[in-house]
């Protein structure tokens, strides 16, 4: 992972922590927000694999 990708994952963790400090308004808010954070984390964490696959698709010289 790049430093920027790690920073985004860290920021997502801070977003979760901040959300937990908010008063609950609906019973599913936390689960919905947690799913959104996990979805975003999966996208960021998949980037190294995507870069690796892209390098393998390049023709050898």
Distances from the Cα of 9 to the Cα of 27, 44, 55, 60, angstroms: 26, 7, 24, 33
pLDDT confidence of residue 61: 58
pTM recorded for the entire structure: 0.81
pLDDT in tens, the chain (61 residues): 999 999 999 999 999 999 999 999 999 999 999 999 999 999 999 999 999 988 887 666 5
Question: What is the token pair recorded at 27?
Answer: 């019973």
- C-alpha distances (whole Å) from 48 to each of 2, 5, 7, 13, 51 are 8, 9, 14, 19, 5
């Amino acid at each position: 992972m790049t430093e920027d990708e790690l920073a985004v994952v860290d920021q997502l963790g801070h977003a979760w922590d901040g959300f937990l400090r908010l008063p609950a308004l609906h019973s599913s808010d936390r689960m919905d927000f947690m799913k959104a954070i996990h979805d975003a984390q999966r996208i960021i964490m998949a980037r190294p694999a995507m870069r690796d696959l892209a390098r393998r698709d390049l023709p050898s010289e």
